[in-house]
């Protein structure tokens, strides 16, 4: 890019023009020359000029006339008037009309160059300012364009979007949000969420995110009800430039239809399981009668076949019972009645029940109890929890493994752990093992029969009893499931 400053010298005297040319080109300027005003105006229309040096006394057009024509068209070009001693008054007059400065003939080189340099600097600064302003304007335009694009996207989304600030006021929302939450009419902006949609669990979640209690990268998903709609709300923190939590962002999706379908599916599974269970139980009973020889003696082969059949029926009955349990949990009917339960006793019973299976597998089974007090829970749920966790621990441990059950009172909670020295679970599998029908594919446990419903039942049962469950596992070393269940406090 040619960034030389271009000076247009307008003077009828050739010596002046040539003198200027010599001095200025020597200083790195580009010099254009015009012998009168008309030529100068022609050059201005075609060339890029940064400074004009303009003689006052010229034929064809006087310098004053040229100035009057040039200033309004090129206000950004500084015009320096060349004047003799007799025309200083006119030069001053010209400055009032917009000339930048004047110099008197004959030129003193230093003075001349100083004036030109000053004009060049002014021109450069003005150009820079203009470029900045242009860029600022463009940025603002882009920003506005981006803003209106985002607005359009958010407004057209089928999912509800809600952004809250530090005071839990909704500062951004879209029409879908108002529709999903069934909020009629207009609302002022920002509006208080608590005043317009007072859903306790959503507000508790948002407060938790706002206070920084939840992990910054964590999304919290929950199902909430709003009028006739069932909604899945996924909330996350809105982070400021310093990475601090400045608010929350929630996306809401209407899952009403999905829930209805899910309910129909559960009803169907429930019905089928029920219908299958009664005939199976009676087949099982009749086979037992045959096996025990109550209907006449059996040959060895007959006994063997019948025995295998009974085992298959038991596995089927177990599956049916699991399906019915899951359906119950999903319908929110997992807990029939919560009563004080002696966990120590439950553990003893579980160990007694599971001991033969552990022996068969070559796994040792032991337990420890410490500072026990009764927990408030549904006895059937507790039985399911222990049976599933302990049978998993035995099933997924190789011969020679150890399974330890422990229970310890921790203030308001009872901590129950089921640990094994088994095959363990890969970290990426851990989040999935509580899903229905999910089973980890592991070469060492391929022979273990199961449906993948056990842990889904355990999790559902723990949560229905107001407890919490988590799991820690190291592949090839072992797994520990930890449960916290509320104990009975004095005010209960």
Ligand X SMILES: Nc1ncnc2c1ncn2[C@@H]1O[C@H](COP(=O)(O)OP(=O)(O)OP(=O)(O)O)[C@@H](O)[C@H]1O
Q: What part of residues 439-478 is at the interface with ligand X (CB under 6 A)?
A: 439-440, 450-456
Stretch that binds ligand X, among 127-135, 137-145, 291-299, 437-445 (CB under 6 A): 437-445
Give the list of residues 6+ apart from residue 307 with CB closer than 8 angstroms, or none: 291
107 binds, among ligand X, Mg ion, none (CB under 5 to 8 A by kind): none
Residue nearest to Mg ion (CB): 454
Give the residue from 56, 45, 48 showing the smallest Cα distance to 16.
Answer: 56
Q: Which two tokens stand for residue 219?
A: 């999304």
Q: Which listed residue (420, 461, 465, 469) binds ligand X by CB under 6 A? A: 420
Q: How far is the CB of 222 from ligand X (least distance, A)?
A: 23
The residue count for binding Mg ion (CB under 5 A) is: 2
Sketch the per residue contact string, 402 through 441, with Mg ion: x for CB under 5 A, - otherwise: ----------------------------------------
| Residue 344 contacts ligand X per CB under 6 A | no
| Residue 406 contacts ligand X per CB under 6 A | no
Q: What part of residues 245-304 is at the interface with Mg ion (CB under 5 A)?
A: none
Query: Do the Cβ atoms of 472 and 479 come closer than 8 Å?
Result: yes
In sequence order, the β-bridge partners of residue 330 are none
Stretch that binds ligand X, among 48-56, 214-222, 327-335, 417-425 (CB under 6 A): 417-425
Q: How far is the CB of 391 from ligand X (least distance, A)?
A: 7
- The CA distance from 299 to 291, in Å, is 10
Stretch that binds ligand X, among 15-23, 41-49, 165-173, 432-440 (CB under 6 A): 432-440
Q: How far is the CB of 336 from ligand X (least distance, A)?
A: 22
3-state secondary structure 17-82: HHHHHHHHHHCCCEEEEECCHHHHHHHHHHCCCCEEEEECCCCCCCHHHHHHHHHHHCCCCCEEEE
E strand or H helix that includes residue 414: strand 413-420
| Residue 454 contacts Mg ion per CB under 5 A | yes
- The CA distance from 340 to 347, in Å, is 15
Q: Which two tokens stand for residue 401?
A: 């493994």
Give the residue from 319, 315, 240, 228 showing the smallest Cα distance to 272.
Answer: 319
Binding site for ligand X (CB under 6 A): 322, 388, 392-393, 396, 420, 422-425, 433, 438-440, 450-456, 479
Binding site for Mg ion (CB under 5 A): 392, 454
């Amino acid at each position: 890019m040619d960034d030389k400053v271009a000076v247009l010298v307008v003077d009828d005297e050739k010596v002046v023009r040539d003198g200027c040319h010599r001095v200025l080109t020597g200083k790195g300027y580009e010099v254009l020359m015009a012998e009168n005003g008309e030529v100068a105006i022609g050059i201005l229309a075609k060339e890029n000029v940064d400074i004009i040096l303009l003689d006052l006394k010229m034929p064809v057009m006087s310098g004053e006339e040229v100035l009057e024509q040039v200033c309004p068209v090129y206000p950004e070009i500084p015009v320096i008037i060349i004047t003799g001693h007799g025309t200083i008054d006119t030069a001053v007059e010209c400055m009032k009309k917009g000339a930048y400065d004047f110099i008197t003939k004959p030129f003193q080189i230093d003075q001349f160059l100083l004036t030109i340099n000053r004009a060049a600097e002014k021109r450069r600064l003005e150009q820079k300012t203009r470029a900045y302003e242009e860029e600022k304007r463009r940025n603002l335009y882009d920003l506005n364009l981006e803003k209106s694009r985002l607005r359009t996207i958010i407004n057209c989304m089928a999912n509800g979007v809600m952004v809250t600030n530090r005071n839990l006021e909704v500062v951004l929302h879209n029409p879908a949000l108002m529709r999903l939450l069934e909020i009629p009419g207009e609302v002022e902006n920002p509006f208080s969420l608590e005043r317009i949609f007072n859903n306790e669990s959503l507000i508790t979640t948002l407060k938790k995110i706002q206070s920084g209690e939840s992990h910054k990268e964590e999304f919290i998903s929950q199902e909430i009800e709003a009028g006739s709609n069932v909604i899945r709300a996924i909330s996350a923190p809105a982070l400021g430039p310093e990475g601090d939590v400045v608010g929350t962002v929630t996306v809401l999706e209407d899952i009403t239809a999905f829930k209805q379908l899910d309910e129909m599916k559960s009803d169907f599974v429930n019905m089928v399981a029920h219908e299958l269970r009664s005939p199976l139980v009676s087949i099982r009973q009749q086979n037992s009668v045959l096996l025990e020889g109550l209907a006449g003696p059996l040959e060895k082969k007959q006994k063997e076949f019948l025995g295998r059949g009974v085992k298959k029926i038991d596995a089927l009955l177990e599956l049916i019972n699991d399906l019915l349990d899951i359906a119950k949990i999903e319908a929110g009917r997992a807990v029939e009645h919560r009563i004080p339960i002696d966990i120590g006793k439950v553990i003893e019973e579980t160990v007694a029940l599971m001991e033969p299976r552990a022996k068969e597998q070559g796994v040792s089974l032991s337990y420890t109890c410490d500072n026990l007090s009764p927990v408030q829970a549904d006895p059937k749920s507790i039985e399911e929890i222990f049976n599933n966790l302990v049978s998993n621990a035995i099933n997924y441990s190789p011969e020679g493994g150890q399974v330890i059950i422990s229970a310890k009172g921790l203030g308001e909670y009872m901590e129950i752990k089921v640990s094994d020295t088994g095959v363990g679970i890969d970290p990426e599998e851990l989040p999935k093992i509580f899903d229905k029908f999910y089973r980890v594919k592991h070469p060492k446990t391929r022979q273990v029969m199961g449906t993948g419903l056990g842990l889904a039942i355990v999790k559902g049962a723990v949560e229905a009893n107001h407890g919490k469950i988590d799991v820690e596992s190291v592949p090839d070393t072992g797994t520990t499931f930890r449960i916290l269940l509320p104990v009975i406090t004095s005010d209960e």
